Amino acid sequence: MIEKLCPRCGLRFSYIKRKRVGERYYYYAVHKDKGKITRTCYLGPVGGYEYVSRLHEDLQLQLFSIVERSWVDYVRSMVESRVELALENPSMLNVVAGEVREAARIISEAASRLKLELSMPELEVELKARVKPYKSEVFKAVELEHEHEGSSTLISLTLAERLCHYGVATKEFCAVVEKLKAE
């Protein structure tokens, strides 16, 4: 027989019950001793947290109760959200690539600590746009010319400087930034 430990308090529990409050249902771990209920621990709403999930819409993250949640699903939704951001906005490619590299490093370290063999080749990101300076009378920017799409994206000089400062931009990109700053 598998011992059931409460995810809230860590003690053994007898069963999980659903309780209706207003229009929603909520999970509770029921602890019994000698046939009598000694305590119940709140485990969250059935179907997830509506208000808190709305606050995390930018991550496309739906937050669930302790009973329903899946750590892997949370990680997957956050990664997919960032990838979509990079695909919709090519100026974010290097930022997202840096985040993916860092996440891969963290996962690799965790696998090492757990003595798991993990094979992840080093990520190489290639910028598939021509980088050139852009200047008008009032505005300086780095222009990313998307060769296969026939369009371009302007990144303000201040944002471009921050991308270089935090190490998420390519050397080619940062060279254009330095050239713009010098002018």
CB neighbours of 161 closer than 8 A, spacing ≥ 6? 177, 181
pLDDT of residue 41: 94
Q: Residue 19's pLDDT is what?
A: 94
The pLDDT, as a whole number, for residue 123 is 46
Evaluate whether residue 107 is within a structural domain.
no
Is residue 141 a part of any domain in this protein?
yes
What confidence tens digit (pLDDT) does each residue in 47-64 have? 888 888 788 777 667 777
**Would you tell me how many other CB atoms lie within 10 Å of the CB of residue 139?**
10
**Which residue, among 177, 28, 78, has the nearest Cα to 14 in the 3D structure?**
28
User: What mean pLDDT do residues 90-118 have?
Assistant: 84
Q: Is residue 144 part of a domain?
A: yes
List the domain range (segments joined by +) for residue 167.
127-183
In angstroms and rounded to an integer, the radius of gyration of the C-alpha atoms of the chain is: 25
Question: What's the chain's average pLDDT?
Answer: 81
Paired with 130 in beta bridges are: 145
Residue 138 lies in a domain: yes
Which pTM value belongs to this model?
A: 0.45
User: What is the reported pLDDT for 98?
Assistant: 86
Rounded to whole angstroms, how far apart are CA atoms 137 and 132?
17
Percent of the chain with pLDDT over 70: 88
123-160 pLDDT, tens per residue?
Answer: 454 556 788 898 888 888 888 887 666 677 788 888 88
Higher pLDDT pick, 83 / 19: 19
Number of compact structural domains in the chain:
1
